[in-house]
Structure formats: C-alpha cells, structure tokens
Amino acid sequence: MGTYFHSVFLFWSRAARLCGHFSKSAKKRWATITIFILSFVSISLCWIWIQKSVITDIVTTTSPKKPPGQVDFPLNCSNLNLTLTCPTTCPVTIEKEESSPVACPEHTQWIHEDLRPWQSTGITRDMVESGRVYANFRLVIVKGKAYVERYKGSYQTRDVFTIWGILQLLRLYPGKVPDLELMFWCGDETVIKKRDYQGLKATSVPPVFNYCKDDETLDIVFPDWSFWGW
C-alpha cells in the first residue's frame, strides 16, 4: 500500500510541473488537469479491483466449502478407543442444510402397507399397551434419548443388539429421530395374527415391531440389526 501512495505522489508531482508548462494557455491547462484527474480515478479503480480479486482468491483458497450432499457424522469409533461407554460430547442436533427434494426409495411403499391396519383409526395408548404381552421390551425416545423397559428375555442377546443399533441411529443422526414409543418382539416367529383381529377386533390391533412378517400377520417389520452380534 505504501508503494501505491508513493507512486501517486510522483504522479501528481510530475503533473504539477506539466501544468506549469502549459500555464500560458488556460484552456490547455484545464484540459490537462482534467486528463490527469480522469487518469488518477482510472488508476485508483483498477487498483481497488485488483486488491479485491486477490482477497477473494485468498478467502476461497483458505475456506473451502463443503461439497453439496456431504454428511459429517459426529460418531467416532476409532480402534484406539474401545471403551464400553459412549462419548458424552456427541451433539444433540446437527445443522440443517438446504437440499433439493429427493424421491423416496421404492421400499417406503411397504411402510405404508405395514401401517395400513391403523390408517383409519390411528394408534391409541390402549393399542400400544395391549402389545405388551407380546413384546420383549418397550422403547421410548424423548429428545434424542432412548429409554427401555424389558418384559421378557430374548434369544441370546438379540434385544441388546437391537437396542444398540437404535443407539447408533440416534448418535449418527442427532435431532432427526422423532419422539416415539413402541413395543418390540425379538423372535423369528410372528405374533400378531390376522385371524385374531377380525370384525370388532379389527380396530384394536396392537402395533408390535418384529423382524418378520407374512401375509397372515400384522407385525410391523423392523431391520434385524442383531446380525451384528449375539
């Protein structure tokens, strides 16, 4: 910046001498001054534009933007940290970013199909409680925290790994899992039979999540994460 002002000073010093040289003619003197003023303004604007371009390039280079669609998972499970407890520094929410709408995957149609028995009535508290006799545990999620109430044991540790998978889901997507409450059965066989809920009972089907389902049952299918262990 000092070099710039020094150049401007020399420019105007020479301009003053030239103005004196042309002092014999008033018209020539004012024309010369006008030319020098326009030249000075042009040089100043060029200098500002160059400085702005350089600063913009520096900011762009030092602060790269995250590629669109990239997701930063806050969960860190390195081989050097094999403790049995989850870190307490995991964020509760993640920053939302603007994204273009994406079509739902094809398998989402089966979610609507599994929930069809409750389409007209909705799910009531009594319905949830009636599923307790079939469930291994009750899962409640409130503000990103999971609470579990066990009712009966499952085969080996299938319930433990199912709950562990839900905890990983909460860790990977903090703030994106809504508050919920559900009953879960961890066996391979189905438990909610269609034949048991006909006529008047068709409006009181207990919503029970399970790994399995067929055309004769009303269990709600859930991913079998227990294959990770047990």
> pLDDT per residue over 102-153, tens digit each?
777 887 888 889 999 999 999 999 999 999 999 999 999 999 999 999 999 9
**Residue 103 in domain:** no
Q: What domain count does the chain have?
A: 2
What pLDDT was estimated at residue 45? 66
Per DSSP (E only), the strands in 31-157 are 137-142, 145-150
Mean pLDDT value of segment 41-55: 62
Mean pLDDT value of segment 223-227: 79
Q: Do residues 42 and 115 share a domain?
A: no
Query: Minimal CA–CA distance to 154: which of 205, 114, 192, 211?
Result: 211
Q: The whole model's pTM is what? A: 0.60
Report the C-alpha gap between 144 and 176 in whole angstroms: 8
Residue 59 has pLDDT above 80, yes or no: no
Give me the domain span that covers residue 28.
2-62
Tokens of 22: 């042309």
Q: Do residues 34 and 126 share a domain?
A: no
Which of 62, 81, 101 finishes a domain? 62
Assign residue 209 a region: left if phi > 0, alpha if psi is -120 to 50, beta otherwise? beta
**Residue 81 in domain:** no
- The answer to whether the beta carbons of residues 221 and 213 sit under 8 Å apart is yes
**Residue 100 in domain:** no
**Residue 104 in domain:** no
Which pLDDT tens digit goes with each residue over 93-102? 666 555 566 7
Q: Do residues 54 and 121 share a domain?
A: no
- Identify the band that residue 40 occupies on the pLDDT scale cut at 50, 70 and 90: low
Report the C-alpha gap between 55 and 126 in whole angstroms: 65
**Residue 214 in domain:** yes
Q: What percentage of the chain has pLDDT greater than the value 90?
A: 37
Q: Rg for the chain (alpha carbons), in Å? A: 36
**Residue 149 in domain:** yes
Q: Do residues 117 and 58 share a domain?
A: no
- The answer to whether the beta carbons of residues 184 and 222 sit under 8 Å apart is yes
Choice between 207 and 35, residue whose per-residue pLDDT is larger: 207
Choice between 178 and 49, residue whose per-residue pLDDT is larger: 178
Give backbone dihedrals phi and psi of 220, rounded to 5 degrees, phi first: -95, 120
Report the C-alpha gap between 73 and 174 in whole angstroms: 9
**Residue 89 in domain:** no
Q: Do residues 120 and 33 share a domain?
A: no
Q: Do residues 114 and 216 share a domain?
A: yes
Report the C-alpha gap between 86 and 94 in whole angstroms: 18
- The answer to whether the beta carbons of residues 193 and 120 sit under 8 Å apart is no
Q: Do residues 194 and 119 share a domain?
A: yes
Mean pLDDT, the chain, rounded, equals 76
Mean pLDDT value of segment 60-80: 52
What pLDDT was estimated at residue 4? 47
Q: Do residues 44 and 119 share a domain?
A: no
Q: Do residues 140 and 202 share a domain?
A: yes
What pLDDT was estimated at residue 48? 66
What pLDDT was estimated at residue 23? 47
Q: Do residues 124 and 199 share a domain?
A: yes
**Residue 203 in domain:** yes
Residue 15: count of CB within 10 angstroms of its CB: 17
